[in-house]
Amino acid sequence: MQIVKDEGPITGEQIAEKLNLTRATLRPDLAILTMAGFLDARPRVGYFYAGKSANQLLGEHVRKLMVKDYKSLPIVVKEETSAYDAICTMFLEDVGTLFVVKENKQLAGVVSRKDLLKTAMGKQDLQTIPVSIVMTRMPNIVTCSPDDSLLDAAAKLMRYQVDALPVVRPMEDGDGVEVIGRITKTTITKAFVELGQHTDV
């Protein structure tokens, strides 16, 4: 890479000579560097530095990750579900955020751990108070769509300081949106770990 950076365009033959290697020995390495986007090769001209840093290449890769490929199943409750049952659902499903939906699956709101903790601190009866009273409701819900990039979804999680985004699409009949998935901070952490484990940038 350094040789090409300093002296490109330079042929494979010339690089091999400088390294005291045969052209054949070098060929697979040059092929990898070219495929990975570090070098560019032009016929009859030679190799030249593509000018992209590993960081740029990683950024390009990250921007291609899509919400639809990473979303997990949404855990939903109905508006009339009691705060008590919502807490049970959180434990049973091992999630920190529930999406509240109407009969026709239309997104009505979001109820988080803290919403339920707040309710538990009050004097209300958890068995009778419905989640619709304590949830954050539409249209104040930050959502994402399956065709958004995972990076945009992650930026929304940061910007709005929430743990989860419902993945939504327009309802087939009428207004509002239907919940089809969920993106959480865990989703982003998982994608981050995957990126770190891949060596083929």
Nearer to ligand ADP, 8 or 74 (CB): 74
Q: Which of 58, 97, 88 is nearest to 192 (CA)?
A: 58
Site for ligand ADP in 88-107 (CB under 6 A): 96-97
Reduced to 3 states (helix: H, G, I; strand: E, B; else coil), residue 98 is: strand
CA dist list (Å): 199 to 57, 146, 188: 12, 27, 19
Q: Compute the least distance from the CB of residue 164 to ligand ADP, in Å.
A: 5
Token pair of 65, please? 């990750």
Q: Compute the least distance from the CB of residue 173 to ligand ADP, in Å.
A: 24
Nearer to ligand ADP, 161 or 199 (CB): 161
Nearer to ligand ADP, 34 or 89 (CB): 89
- Determine which residue in the list 98, 101, 110, 167 makes contact with ligand ADP, applying CB under 6 A: 110
* Alpha helix segments (H runs only) across the chain: 2-7, 12-18, 23-35, 54-63, 67-70, 83-93, 113-121, 131-134, 150-159, 185-197
Site for ligand ADP in 128-187 (CB under 6 A): 136, 140-142, 161-165
Q: Which residue is nearest to ligand ADP (CB)?
A: 114
User: Nearest 5°: phi and psi at 176?
Assistant: 85, -175
The answer to whether the beta carbons of residues 148 and 68 sit under 8 Å apart is no
Q: Compute the least distance from the CB of residue 175 to ligand ADP, in Å.
A: 18
Q: Compute the least distance from the CB of residue 132 to ligand ADP, in Å.
A: 12
66 binds ligand ADP (CB under 6 A): no
Q: Which residues 6+ apart lie within 8 Å of 139 measured at CB?
A: none
Q: Compute the least distance from the CB of residue 182 to ligand ADP, in Å.
A: 9
Residues that bind ligand ADP (CB under 6 A): 96-97, 110-115, 136, 140-142, 161-165
